[in-house]
Amino acid sequence: MVTSNANKAREVAAFFGGLLEVTHVALDLPEHRSEDVGEIAQGKARFAYGQLNAPLIVDDTGFSIDALAGFPGPYAAYVQKSIGNAGILKLMEGKSDRTARFTTAIAYADATGVRVFPGTLEGQIAHNPRGDGGFGYDPIFEIGGTTLAEIPMEEKSRMSHRARALAAFQDWFLQEHAAGQSK
Amino acid sequence: MVTSNANKAREVAAFFGGLLEVTHVALDLPEHRSEDVGEIAQGKARFAYGQLNAPLIVDDTGFSIDALAGFPGPYAAYVQKSIGNAGILKLMEGKSDRTARFTTAIAYADATGVRVFPGTLEGQIAHNPRGDGGFGYDPIFEIGGTTLAEIPMEEKSRMSHRARALAAFQDWFLQEHAAGQSK
């Protein structure tokens, strides 16, 4: 797992729960500007593989609000840091469509190339922030009336966009690996 | 001038007014994600030089609002396309500090490396959009009470952040070139 974020690497290692062995490589990856997290993850994976020459995964996450034409999109981290949830709620005043989604793309690179596995979590922008858990957009993103910041961490980790992308990758990887072993 | 935007190349050629000969090379440059337009321009110039192996300039422009912690910063184009000026004005409701600035960085690359020349235009976020000229943030960006969209194109071109960056580059380039000739 190539990331500058040690917590993220730990979370990913925990997800695989020993089924796959994951090592954390702390490398700051240049990110190409794109509005597609899959494309961003793919670019980062290609760059990292050029540096490391070993099978690896990287990820990229975006947050997209339908009524704001997809804003903040791939710039979710920057927008959170600048205008924050207060800014998002201000922009959403008077909007009836409050649909939003997180998307994580996991990109896997090896000698044969790069493959991208997306994972999505759809919900609604709340009218007010709620909950003490989570971080970033969690207090204003609700699913079935509950914000992500009100959901226990463990449950959140199981249902998250990142978990869904990791699961898609894991399914594919284990199948490939089994196929390789049976040859 | 390496850009996918033919209008920009024409504007730059017009700026130099025959003093420097500028050719337009239409190349779509990958942009590294950074919050510093100088860094972004530098990355693009380095990439373009790797492709073209000839002296070249590229530019990158950001728009930064103090009361919004610099937002939209380098993502000015994306933010304009998604939440637009209406979104900016909503975010600025009730803010007394309305200071904002455009920054263009011109990066020049040749065999000796890359040099960056910034140009800045400081103003205020208007309370309502005004003016029919210009594009993007021009109708909500005012200097001395007049928005950029109310200023004639020719005058705007002379005073713009891009003109200031180009002037800084030109001064340096002509001096270097004169020094080279006198040897």
- As to burial, measured by CB atoms within 10 angstroms (0-12 exposed, 13-18 middle, 19+ buried), residue B102 is buried
* CA separation for the pair A178, A168 (Å, rounded): 16
Q: Each residue of A169-178: pLDDT tens digit?
A: 999 999 988 7
Q: Decide if A28 touches B, using CB distance below 8 A.
A: no
Active site residue B60: yes
Question: ipTM score of the complex?
Answer: 0.79
User: Given phi > 0 = left and psi -120 to 50 = alpha, else beta, which region is A155?
Assistant: alpha
Give the pLDDT confidence score for residue A17 in this predicted structure.
Answer: 83
Residues in B 8-27 with any Cβ partner in A closer than 8 A = none
Active-site option among B60, B110, B132, B171: B60
Across the interface, do A33 and B33 touch by the CB < 8 Å criterion? yes
Higher pLDDT pick, A140 / B10: A140
Is B158 part of the contact surface with chain A (CB cutoff 8 Å)? no
Q: Is residue B32 less than 8 Å (CB to CB) from chain A?
A: yes
* Closest residue in A to B85 (Cα–Cα): A91
Identify the residue with better confidence: A96 or A27. A96
- CA–CA distances in Å: residue A75 to residues A12, A39, A79, B77, B145: 22, 14, 6, 12, 32
pLDDT score recorded for residue B183: 44
Residue B89 is predicted with a pLDDT of 98
Q: Crossing angle of helices B84-91/A84-91, nearest 10°? A: 120
Whether residue A137 contacts residue A149, with contact meaning beta carbons closer than 8 Å, is answered with no
> Is A71 near chain B, with CB under 8 Å?
yes
What whole-number distance in Å separates Cα of residue A119 and Cα of residue A103?
A: 6
Residue-wise pLDDT for A103-120, tens only, equals 999 999 999 999 999 999
Tokens of B163: 């003109």
Identify the closest residue of chain B to A32 by CA–CA distance: B32
Measured between beta carbons, the chain B residues lying within 8 angstroms of A78 are: 35, 71, 73, 75
Contact A114/A104 with Cβ under 8 angstroms?
no
B129 touches chain A (CB under 8 A): no
Q: Which of A36, A60, A110, A132 is catalytic?
A: A60
Tens of pLDDT, residue by residue over B54-64, are 999 999 999 99
Res. A154: pLDDT tops 60: yes
**Of A33, A71, A93, Cβ closest to residue B83:** A71
pLDDT at B27: 85
Q: Does domain A6-182 have CATH number 3.90.950.10?
A: yes
B97 in Cβ contact with B66 (< 8 Å): yes
Q: What is the pLDDT along chain B (183 residues), one digit of tens a residue?
A: 998 888 788 888 888 887 888 889 998 787 777 889 999 999 999 999 999 999 999 999 999 999 999 999 989 989 999 999 999 999 999 999 999 999 999 999 999 999 999 999 999 999 999 999 878 999 999 999 999 999 988 888 888 999 999 999 999 999 988 765 554
Nearest by CB to B70, from A33, A70, A82: name it.
A82
Cβ under 8 Å to A: B residues 34-63:
35, 40, 43
For the residues A24-33, what does the mean pLDDT come to?
A: 82
- The tens digit of pLDDT for each residue in A39-76 reads 999 999 999 999 999 999 999 999 999 999 999 998 99
Q: Contact, B129 vs B136, CB < 8 A?
A: no
Which residues 6+ apart lie within 8 Å of A138 measured at CB? Answer: A131, A147, A148, A149, A156
pLDDT at residue A14, rounded to an integer: 84
Tell me how close the Cα of B138 comes to any Cα of chain A, in angstroms.
21
Given this model, what pLDDT does residue B30 score? 76
In a mutational test of the A interface, the residue from B64, B65, B82, B91 whose CB has the highest number of chain A CBs within 10 Å is: B82
Q: Tell me if chain B has a CB within 8 Å of the CB of A114.
A: no
